Amino acid sequence: MTALTRPFATSLLFLALPMAGSGQGTARYQPQALSVEDYSRAEGMLAPFMTPLVRGAAVDPTWIGNDRFWYPTRTDRGVEFKVVDVSDRSVGNAFDQEALAAGMSSATGQVFEPFNLPLRTFEIVGGGVAFAAGGALWFCATEGDCTAEETTEPPNSVTSPDGRLAAYIRDHNLWVRDLESGQDRPLTTDGIEDFGYATNNAGWVRSERPVLRWSPDSRKIATFQHDSRGVGEMYLVTTGVGHPELDRWKYPLPEDSVVFRIERVIVDVEGPGVVRLQMPPDVHRSTVCDHVYCGGTFADVEWSPDSRLLAFVSSSRDHKEAHLRVADAATGAVRDVLSEQVETFYESGYRQANWRVFFERNEVLWFSERSDWGHLYVYDLESGRLDRQLTSGDWAVLQVRHVDLDGGVLFFTGAGREPGDPYFHYLYRVPIEGGDVRLLTPDSAHHTVSISPEGEYFVDSWSTPVTAAHNVVRDMDGRVAMDLEDQDISLLTQSGWKPPIPFTVKARDGETDLYGLMHTPSDLDPSLEYPVVNYLYPGPQSGSIRTRGFTEAR
């Protein structure tokens, strides 16, 4: 099973409403109304008020090659951007933020604050910084001179790997724009309403951004024609001030005979056009979510390195069947490789698909919970036969994070294998040929890791619900290559903030361990008894606590 389903996690809230005491000397229940001050105190515990009191960062790096990265961190001045060079163990400012703010202010006539810059991401390029902001592409030189030009990318587009083309939806069809010339041209012409190409529509989740996957050579696009013709509708009336507005969307109910279906296609952007895969339409599902667009990408789709083959998984609507298939991109011919059938609910990983096709090795990495725990298996790509099991035991593989085919090793996160809290995430490595699983993040805590593109280093940020983040850079054997900053929560604790209290109890069966976090009122009176609210999300795909790492507001 995944770490979300065994053992059980919950979160308890102690309401600031005293109850009748059952013990001697305990105050009896006294009904009371919550005051404006009570609400103000509760509001003060929300993230917009708590986050500014934390200094430092749980480092979330953006890699620049394999041994450099940048990250934002909070200081007394605001948000500062740091750049780290692991090769010489140095940390410095990513750029002169005061000069950049002055340059942007001069170029636009607006006032930009140096430590509250509108940057989500940027690139450090020769002699300056490039970034997108306010619908424009900016370049600011080191000394602060800034220029901006309107982006040539159409809104809600997906850019090819070579950066030459951007694919987008227009009038239910798929188009591309040449980003150098600005020329637009259609790739499909037969898309119509309710039967369009690359449609990002799962009913309650909708977007104009196309759902597709570019091939590595930037010549082909894997996508689909989304069929919602005849699907029933759902309706929602707004409850805001003024006249209500009616929203409606396509949404098949469990017993409907007409449901969303996708006809898989491969589009050759240079011609001859659309190649339809030789198979019946799939239902609108993936092994990651109830959509086919999960985590910002077209889920359960993987190209071969030479762009000739497309691997994908077809899922049943009830998530009980998954079929791995491989298609020929030139002809559309499809062959089945392997299948998984379960009695409950098949997921291929924790918030991401864990299957991979090793085309170079003629093998498939597959994730299964057939042992009641999520583990990794290797199949033969041609025959579909199981060759070996890579992981086993009463613990769960969560995410495959990096595969080093040349070195013959893969890296993954897991939970429940180490002593202590079974919801802490750790990073491991295991040989692709099989062998011992090795722990790379030994500290007993929740580890968030980011691996460099070629797998030379990884940033390890670890914390617990009660202790703030520690950050280091490690090599791929787990050795510490460099210490980074730690979070400082002294201002947070001085404000009256209190961490949750981790607890462990036995379930009603007397055997199952329950792991939870208890949140008590900021003005807790130990002489009173309080009612308890068990905050529990009932769905199988998510938990109530969200993270076992540190967060200043939950």
What ranges make up the beta strands (E) of 329-456? Answer: 334-341, 356-358, 363-368, 375-380, 386-389, 396-404, 409-415, 425-431, 438-439, 446-451
Q: Can you tell me the distance from the alpha carbon of 519 to that of 502, in angstroms, rounded to the nearest whole number?
A: 9
Q: What tokens does 348 get?
A: 């291929």
Q: Are 443 and 474 in contact (CB under 8 A)?
A: no
Q: Which secondary structure element, helix H or strand E, spans residue 74, and what is its range? A: strand 68-75
- pLDDT tens column, 308-358: 999 999 999 999 999 999 999 999 999 999 999 999 999 999 999 999 999
Spans of the chain, pLDDT less than 50: 1-6, 16-18, 20-21, 29
Round the CA-based radius of gyration of the chain to a whole number and report it: 26
- Comparing CA positions, the residue from 549, 536, 372 lying closest to residue 13 is 536
Q: Can you tell me the distance from the alpha carbon of 354 to that of 205, in angstroms, rounded to the nearest whole number?
A: 24
Q: Can you tell me the distance from the alpha carbon of 271 to that of 219, in angstroms, rounded to the nearest whole number?
A: 9
pLDDT of residue 152: 82
Q: Can you tell me the distance from the alpha carbon of 231 to that of 283, in angstroms, rounded to the nearest whole number?
A: 13
User: Which residue reads 């703010």 in tokens?
Assistant: 101
Residues 6+ apart with CB under 8 A from 39: none
User: Which residue reads 């305990």 in tokens?
Assistant: 26
pLDDT of residue 1: 45
Q: What tokens does 285 get?
A: 């599902």
Q: Which secondary structure element, helix H or strand E, spans residue 94, and what is its range? A: none
Under DSSP, the state recorded for 444 is: S
Q: Are 412 and 376 in contact (CB under 8 A)?
A: yes
pLDDT of residue 16: 46
pTM for the whole structure: 0.91
Q: Is the dihedral of CA 274, 277, 281, 287 positive or negative?
A: negative
Q: Can you tell me the distance from the alpha carbon of 183 to that of 491, in angstroms, rounded to the nearest whole number?
A: 54
pLDDT of residue 42: 86
